[in-house]
């Protein structure tokens, strides 16, 4: 009986192990994009501006922008739900699938949602501080995704060091979390972070010339979300369970 049950579990194991919270996030992003696409153009533009993060909301121009005072609070989070075009959506969805899955499997669905929201809000906050008063609508989940990437660095590098990829799958909380100080003194981590920062600045510089939508890349949002994910993930990461610590 035990052998049969084990065989049944093996046969039923999915090919792609994507947490339900990540699938729900992807579904939400796709649904918002589809809804805005089907709306009449005038309504779609107004809804996009109401959801977008716009630094000018916090100046005397704020009352003239769609969304009013409510959007001054909600847009720190709602801007992550809107994307400029399908390409923008697919790129962020791919990164969310990759890094979001690793984080969600480790900390669970509710913490994943809260952590993603925090990273997105911090990305918007840095953009606000550096672009105060700008009438520039910012949209996209890049800030949250950057935070998820940074968070995954804190345990994925440990996985490669200890060759514990199996543990990451079956008992993700058993993988030790690298401290911030250890990360900032680890040569490999610093090289990866430096490469990521350089790519962000390069893409921000060339994006206006290659994008058909007339927009650009908000590198400030990426850096803000990344810093929040790197420094703040430990507050969302639950303590390892004793049973999981025995996994080899």
pLDDT digit string (tens) for 49-93?
Answer: 999 999 999 998 888 899 888 999 999 999 999 999 999 999 999
- Does 5 score more than 50 pLDDT? no
Highest mean pLDDT among 40-49, 54-63, 149-158, 191-200 belongs to 40-49
Of all residues in the chain, the percent with pLDDT exceeding 70 is 82
* Residue that wins the pLDDT comparison between 116 and 247: 116
- Does 11 score more than 50 pLDDT? no
* Residue that wins the pLDDT comparison between 33 and 189: 33
Residue 174: what pLDDT? 77
Fold entry, domain 22-246? Rhomboid-like fold (1.20.1540)
* Residue that wins the pLDDT comparison between 244 and 174: 174
Measured at the alpha carbon of residue 48, what is the angle toward residues 42 and 52, in degrees to the nearest 5?
150
Of all residues in the chain, the percent with pLDDT exceeding 90 is 60
* Residue that wins the pLDDT comparison between 175 and 219: 219
User: Exposed e or buried b for every residue in 119-155, given b needs 16+ CB within 10 A?
Assistant: bbbbbbbbbbeebeeeeebbbbbbbbbbbbbbbbbbb
pLDDT band at residue 157 using 50, 70 and 90 as cut-offs? confident
pLDDT band at residue 208 using 50, 70 and 90 as cut-offs? low
* Residue that wins the pLDDT comparison between 62 and 159: 62
Q: What is the mean predicted confidence (pLDDT) over 136-155?
A: 94
Q: Which of 68-72, 175-179, 182-186, 205-209 has the lowest mean pLDDT?
A: 205-209
- Does 246 score more than 50 pLDDT? no
Residue 15: what pLDDT? 42
- Does 138 score more than 80 pLDDT? yes
Q: What torsion do the CA atoms of 92, 97, 99, 104 make, to the nearest 10 degrees? A: 130
Residue 149: what pLDDT? 95
């Amino acid at each position: 009986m035990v052998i049969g049950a084990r065989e049944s579990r093996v046969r039923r194991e999915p090919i792609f192990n994507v947490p339900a919270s990540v699938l729900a996030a992807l579904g939400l992003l796709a649904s918002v994009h589809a809804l805005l696409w089907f709306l009449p153009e005038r309504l779609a533009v107004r809804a996009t501006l109401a959801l977008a993060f716009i630094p000018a909301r916090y100046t005397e121009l704020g009352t003239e922008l769609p969304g009013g005072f409510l959007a001054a609070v909600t847009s720190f989070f709602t801007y992550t739900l809107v994307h400029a075009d399908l390409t923008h959506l697919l790129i962020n969805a791919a990164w969310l699938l990759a890094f979001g899955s690793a984080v969600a499997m480790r900390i669970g669905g509710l913490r994943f949602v809260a952590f993603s929201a925090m990273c997105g809000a911090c990305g918007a906050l840095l953009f606000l501080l550096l672009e105060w008063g700008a009438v520039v609508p910012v949209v996209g989940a890049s800030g949250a995704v950057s935070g998820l990437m940074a968070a995954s660095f804190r345990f994925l590098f440990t996985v490669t060091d200890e060759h514990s990829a199996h543990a990451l799958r079956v008992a993700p909380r058993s993988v030790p979390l690298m401290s911030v100080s250890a990360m900032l003194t680890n040569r490999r981590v610093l090289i990866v972070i430096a490469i990521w920062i350089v790519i962000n600045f390069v893409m921000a510089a060339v994006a206006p010339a290659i994008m058909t939508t007339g927009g650009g890349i908000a590198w400030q949002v990426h850096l803000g979300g990344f810093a929040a994910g790197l420094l703040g993930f430990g507050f969302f990461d639950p303590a390892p369970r004793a049973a999981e610590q025995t996994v080899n």
